[in-house]
């Protein structure tokens, strides 16, 4: 199964992001918009994994202390538009702790540098720079192991564990 470890967003973040995406659509920005229920921040992308229990065991070693995530900017990775979050000690420390726990357990994951962001649009085209990132923040109290699967042609993310 395809797995990733993420921060799931509350309505405190989702609602302003949806308003931003509506503004982008009004301004003619095209692409594959991420559905509201799929908005999240990936801490570690594991990909195909046959042993979800090993990932759960690695996550059980973590001590997550609450921290804030605050939206700060927008940007692109190629044709992928994202809203970024201010890196802070809690967020960056949690991402590092997750990756260290996966390393200690011998679990492979995508080792790209952690850039705190939430994907808004894939295969984006148009002028997105006229739309501002909304001021929004939330308190993070848990992280989630998510399963990603395609159902009826759409990506569905399901939490299978949290700590």
Q: CATH number for the domain including 78?
A: 3.90.1140.10
CA dihedral 44, 24, 9, 5 (to 10 degrees): -10
Domains contained in the chain, number: 1
Which of 110, 113, 90 is closest to 102 using CA atoms? 110
Backbone φ and ψ of 128, nearest 5°: -90, -15
According to DSSP, the residues that pair with 42 across neighbouring strands are 6
Q: pTM of whole model > 0.85?
A: yes
| Residue 93 pLDDT | 96
**Res. 53: pLDDT tops 80:** yes
| Residue 54 pLDDT | 98
| Residue 41 pLDDT | 98
Three-class SS state of 42 = strand
Average pLDDT, the chain: 96
**15 vs 18: CA distance, rounded Å:** 5
Note down the domain range covering 56: 2-162
**Res. 104: pLDDT tops 90:** yes
Helices (H), 33-144: 52-60, 89-105
| Residue 86 pLDDT | 84
| Residue 87 pLDDT | 75
**19 vs 14: CA distance, rounded Å:** 9
Give tens-digit pLDDT for 59-97.
999 999 999 999 999 999 999 999 999 878 999 999 999
């Amino acid at each position: 199964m395809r797995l990733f470890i993420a921060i799931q967003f509350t309505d405190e973040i989702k609602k302003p992001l949806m308003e931003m995406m509506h503004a982008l659509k009004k301004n003619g920005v095209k692409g594959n918009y991420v559905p509201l229920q799929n908005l999240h921040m990936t801490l570690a992308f594991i990909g195909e994994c046959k042993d979800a229990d090993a990932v759960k065991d690695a996550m059980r070693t973590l001590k997550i202390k609450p921290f804030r995530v605050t939206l700060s900017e927008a940007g692109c990775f190629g044709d992928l538009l994202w809203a970024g979050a201010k890196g802070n000690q809690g967020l960056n420390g949690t991402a590092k702790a997750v990756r260290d726990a996966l390393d200690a357990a011998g679990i492979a994951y995508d080792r790209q540098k952690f850039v705190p962001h939430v994907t808004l649009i894939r295969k984006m085209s148009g002028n997105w720079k006229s739309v501002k990132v909304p001021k929004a923040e939330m308190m993070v109290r848990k992280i989630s192991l998510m399963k990603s699967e395609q159902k009826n042609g759409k990506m569905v993310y399901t939490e299978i564990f949290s700590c």
